[in-house]
Structures are given as structure tokens and as C-alpha cells.
Amino acid sequence: MTTDTIAVLMPGDMGHAVGKALADAGYDVVTCLSGRSERTRALAEAGGLRDLDSLDAVATEASLVLSILPPASAMGLARDMAAAMERSGARPVYVDCNAISPGTARDIANVIEAVGAPFIDAGIIGTKPGIGPGPRFYVSGADTAPMQALDGKGFQVLGLGPEPGRASAIKMCYAGLTKGTWTLHTAVLLAAEAQGLTAELRAEFEYSQGQALAQMEARVPRLPADSGRWIGEMEEIAKTFADAGVTPGFHEGAAEIFRLLSQTPFASETGETIDESRTLEETLREAAKLIPKKDAKSGS
């Protein structure tokens, strides 16, 4: 199969960088910006993506469609693209690259395959193209050759076999560690802040947990900017764990931490507007104001 035109839906932080890497490698990269924000439009322009006026046009022009967007929107886009394929008569390969559970990946596969289009399950691990070594795309499905042909085009592509869901599963397990750890750090710090022990705990961390403290200082002030879209990812991780017979409680709690951070004034920031000077303590003070107050009499 020759893949000359590739669609990236939608060009957010990761999507536009993937699109740029593919454009730099010589592909015609398209998207559909109908109803999208000004920021998304700016990112698409920065990535060199060509805007089409409808998903029907995307289905007609692209031989490969990469879905890269917040996990809560993954199923909706799959249904919209399946409808566009039905209307246009085109059947491009649909690649779900979102942070979703294996069960959700299989549900999306059913939607795409029901209209006769090929489906590839993909999980992205690592930083976006252009930063460090770039990400790794793990892929699984009956025929992953169209994605494996992109190996080395700004990212790595690694096959995990013919079963849809395996690529999503490895992404869920990986993010369960990384984002799960960041939310554990935040929860510990918020508990200390709520009890007036931030300075004392920090002193102890400086003495005995210097590496962990450095990670907290580097990461926690940046979490609010991504918190809204990571709530759904934690819920998908919890679903993954539950389906595997492992407690989902850790990541249900992680979703609650992101939900709280999404209510802070800092949640309106983007990757371009994050206040790099904001300290860990400043972030905690604002977030702690949102912790529900416990009724001393009822204990709830």
C-alpha cells in the first residue's frame, strides 16, 4: 500500500508535532479544522497541515487517518469518521492513537470495521517528535504494515501482534506509572498542605528524598495545564486495570487529583503559556483551597 496523504485528527500538542514530522518526511498531511479552536488552528499551521473542509474530504483524500486527541473524544471521532466513510465511499486505514483501554480500543475497532475499513490500534509513549528521541508508536492489529512503513519518520513504530488492544494496553500500563506517580506526588503534597506541614515535609524530602522532590518541583506546577484531558486517561487506565483483575482504585484516585487541578486558575494555561516561574508551593496553595472541607461533627 502506498501512503502519500495522511490525516492527523486533531492537531493538538502531540498531533501537530506528528503531522510536522510526517510533512518533513515528504508526506502530504491533512486535517479538518471545522469547529476547532484558534490554538488548534495555529498548531496546525505550525505543523504544516493542510486543512480540508470536512471529514468526508479527509476520508476521500487520505489513505491513512491518525486519531490523536483526548481519550474522552476517541469514540465520537471514530463514529464521525465511520459516517464520513459511508457517505464518501472511501475506506482509509483508521489508526486510533489515543490513551484508551484495550476494551475501548476494541469497541472503536468494531465501529470502524463495521463499515469495512481497516483498523490499527496504536499507543504513543514518549515525548512528541522534535523533543529528544521522539515517541514510540506501539501498534497491533490484523495488518499494521501501513503504520510500520512510517518507522523512522520522526518516531519509532513497534509491532505487538495481530490483536487490537495490545498497543493500548501497553500505553495504559506505562501511563499508569508516569501520570499515576505524578498524581501520587500531588496527593501527598496536598495532604501535607492541608495540615500545615508543607515546609516540614519539604525539609524531610530534602534530607531523604532529594530525587523525588526534584521530580515534584519540575512536574507538579505543570500538571494543571493538562489536567482536564488527563482525567479521562486515568479513567481509561482504571478500566484497563479492572478488566485485568487489578484494583482500579489507584487511578480512580488519580482522576480525582486531576479533576481538582482542573479547577485551579492554572488549568487555563497551555504548553505555550505556562508560567515557568511558578513554584511548587504556589501551585499547592491554590489547589488546596479546592479540597472539600470535612465536617468535624459528622466526620464527612
32 and 154 part of one domain? yes
In a domain, 299, yes or no: no
pLDDT higher than threshold 80 for residue 27 = yes
In a domain, 295, yes or no: no
185 and 250 part of one domain? yes
Where a domain ends, among 120, 141, 163?
Answer: 163
> Of 149, 167, 157, whose CA–CA distance to 240 is shortest?
167
Q: What is the span of the domain harbouring residue 243?
A: 169-288
> Of 179, 217, 177, whose CA–CA distance to 198 is shortest?
217
Residue-by-residue DSSP string for 178-220: HHHHHHHHHHHHHHHHHTT-HHHHHHHHHHH-HHHHHHHHHHG
Q: Which long-range contacts (CB under 8 A, 24 or more apart) does 103-107 make?
A: 103/165, 103/239, 103/240, 103/243, 104/71, 104/74, 104/75, 104/168, 104/236, 104/239, 105/164, 105/165, 105/167, 105/168, 106/164, 106/165, 107/75
Please report, for the domain that includes residue 114, its CATH number: 3.40.50.720
pLDDT score at 1? 40
Where a domain ends, among 106, 134, 163?
Answer: 163
In a domain, 177, yes or no: yes
In a domain, 190, yes or no: yes
Lookup result for grid cell 515534584: 216
pLDDT score at 187? 98
115 and 179 part of one domain? no
In a domain, 296, yes or no: no
Q: State the total domains in the chain.
A: 2
41 and 122 part of one domain? yes
Share of the chain above pLDDT 90, in %: 92
52 and 193 part of one domain? no
Q: pTM here?
A: 0.94
pLDDT score at 2? 47
Where a domain ends, among 163, 186, 206?
Answer: 163
pLDDT score at 133? 83
| pLDDT-derived band at 294, boundaries 50, 70, 90 | confident
Give the model confidence (pLDDT) of 70-118 as tens digits. Answer: 999 999 999 999 999 999 999 999 999 999 999 999 999 999 999 999 9
Give the model confidence (pLDDT) of 257-270 as tens digits. Answer: 999 999 999 999 99
pLDDT higher than threshold 70 for residue 129 = yes
- Backbone CA torsion sign across 136, 187, 226, 279: negative
104 and 238 part of one domain? no
pLDDT score at 293? 82
95 and 148 part of one domain? yes
